[in-house]
Amino acid sequence: MSNNRFIVKNGTPGYTATKIENKIAVRVVQNGDIVLKDVFVPDEDRLVGVNSFQDIAKVVKSFCIILVSK
């Protein structure tokens, strides 16, 4: 099985994200349209060993801890 999970940083060429405006329902989490066009993902941004949403939650939680502790 190939690893197709990765992180794309803001400012990466080919990556755009726009907030979805005027949604019918109010949501706690913002929704957006993400476009990846010819984006290069370096090896260090690939999430090796991440196979589920639970694994992704652990990665996101570790980022939050790093950001809060700085």
Residue 64 in domain: yes
Residue 42 in domain: yes
Residue 35 in domain: yes
Stated pTM of the model: 0.60
Residue 7 in domain: no
Q: What is the dihedral of CA 41, 35, 5, 53, to 10 degrees?
A: 150
- pLDDT, tens digit, for every residue of 28-45? 777 788 899 999 989 888
- The domain total for the chain is 1
Residue 10 in domain: no
* Structural domain that includes position 64: 15-69
- pLDDT, tens digit, for every residue of 45-60? 888 777 787 887 877 7
For the chain, how long is the longest CA-to-CA vector?
A: 39
Residue 2 in domain: no
Nearest to 47 by CA among 60, 30, 32: 60
